[in-house]
């Protein structure tokens, strides 16, 4: 069975049987030294309805691999080398894992610091969401990446895993990023901007665009399908009318150290990525007390808030599906 074989260049570390049932929802995660965030990631995605995890560990030294190997619903693959240089454009390692193990399944592809939310996720699990996607002929869902941050100096942010991530970094910029049409790409519009543009970018770099906030985190995978640049673009798919969000906890802990190490350890980084990492370090050097929160920052509440702000999208068809599946929202007239 192909599912029992480790893809070329990726060493499988666990010995659990990969005997997936039809309809299992799979989650693929590439990570390095994320032992602090991993328990919260597992709790969140198990709560949404993920059945099985495939982790690609890139040389962790903080106990990440050992923690993964303790999880009964998780498989762990390992590779050395430069994660950023080899797994962004295109993300070959994740593409390989998804083609070997994800074909025929609804799959999530996320980073360890991203928590997926979607319209009515508090009441609708992933299996019901994917039933809706199947019923409407969709193959993928576009996501908006929302950078979350704390109230206080960025350099002093710390996290020990004892409280929910959303309590540690509850704030975000309310205005969605700006959209730019990109002919021939999927998705055909990409979102840029957000708090990283507001605080770090200032339009002063040679690269035209600030960080891309569009991703494709939910895909019904078929063999030969592939991501192009991280999970920001993908081969041709039919997108749902829904839009989901990824709460991005990039700034929750160790931001200065991670930015510095990514510059020193990844000599093959592309120019735009180098400029972005350098911008973070320069801003913190100019202002060691730099805070991302300003007078317009808002605290995260729920999925409905993100729909109202425009970060996520729903539809009348989906609202009807949800009402039929789980009943009307509390307080809604029937």
Q: What is the CA radius of gyration of the chain?
A: 19
Q: Is the pLDDT of residue 53 over 70?
A: yes
Across 222-226, average pLDDT: 93
Give me the pLDDT at residue 273, please. 62
- pLDDT above 50 (res 30): yes
User: What integer is the mean pLDDT of 91-113?
Assistant: 94
Instruction: Please give the Cα distance from 288 to 213 (Å, whole number).
Output: 26
Helix then strand then coil, in percent of the chain rounded to 5, is 30, 20, 45
pLDDT band for position 93 (50/70/90)?
A: confident
Q: Which of 212-216, 217-221, 286-290 has the lowest mean pLDDT?
A: 286-290
Q: Using CA atoms, how far apart are residues 263 and 42, in angstroms rounded to an integer?
A: 29
Tokens, residue 255: 């931001």
Q: What is the mean pLDDT of residues 191-211?
A: 79
Residue 240 has pLDDT above 50, yes or no: yes
In the chain, where the domains are located: 2-325
- Give SS3 for 161: coil
What pLDDT sits at residue 3?
Answer: 44
How far apart (Å, rounded) are the C-alpha atoms in residues 139 and 13? 31
Sign of the Cα pseudo-torsion (54, 256, 278, 261, in order): negative
**Average pLDDT for 258-275:** 56
Contacts of 27 (CB under 8 A, 6+ apart): 45, 50, 52, 53, 54, 107, 108, 109, 110
How much is the pLDDT for 2?
39
Mean pLDDT of 104-124: 98
> What gap in Å lies between CA 236 and CA 249, rounded to an integer?
29
């Amino acid at each position: 069975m192909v599912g029992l074989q480790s893809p070329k260049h990726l060493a499988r570390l666990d010995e659990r049987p990969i005997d997936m049932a039809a309809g299992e929802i799979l989650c693929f995660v590439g990570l390095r030294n994320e032992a602090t965030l991993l328990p919260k990631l597992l709790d969140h995605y198990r709560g949404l309805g993920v059945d099985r995890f495939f982790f690609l560990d890139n040389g962790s030294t903080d106990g990440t691999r050992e923690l993964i190997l303790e999880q009964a619903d998780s498989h762990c693959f390992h590779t050395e080398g430069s994660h950023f240089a080899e797994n962004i454009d295109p993300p070959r390692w994740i593409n390989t894992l998804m083609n070997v193990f994800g074909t025929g399944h609804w799959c999530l592809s996320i980073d360890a610091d991203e928590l997926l939310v979607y319209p009515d996720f508090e009441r609708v699990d992933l299996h019901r969401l994917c039933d809706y996607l199947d019923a409407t002929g969709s193959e993928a869902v576009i996501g908006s990446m929302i950078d979350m941050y704390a109230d206080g100096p960025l350099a002093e942010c710390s996290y020990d895993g004892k409280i929910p991530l959303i309590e540690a970094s509850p704030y975000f910029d309310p205005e969605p990023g700006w959209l730019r049409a990109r002919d021939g790409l999927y998705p055909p519009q990409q979102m840029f901007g957000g708090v990283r543009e507001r605080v770090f970018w200032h339009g002063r770099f040679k690269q035209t665009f600030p960080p891309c906030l569009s991703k494709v985190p939910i895909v019904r995978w078929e063999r030969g399908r592939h991501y192009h640049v991280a999970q920001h673009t993908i081969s041709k798919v039919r997108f749902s009318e829904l839009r989901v969000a990824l709460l991005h906890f990039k700034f929750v802990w160790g931001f200065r150290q991670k930015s510095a190490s990514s510059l020193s350890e990844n000599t093959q980084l592309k120019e735009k990525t180098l400029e972005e990492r350098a911008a973070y370090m320069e801003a913190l050097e100019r202002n060691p007390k730099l805070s991302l929160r300003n007078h317009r920052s808002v605290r995260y509440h729920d999925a409905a808030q993100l729909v109202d702000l425009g970060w996520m999208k729903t539809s009348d068809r989906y609202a009807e599906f949800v009402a039929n599946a789980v009943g009307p929202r509390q307080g809604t007239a029937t």
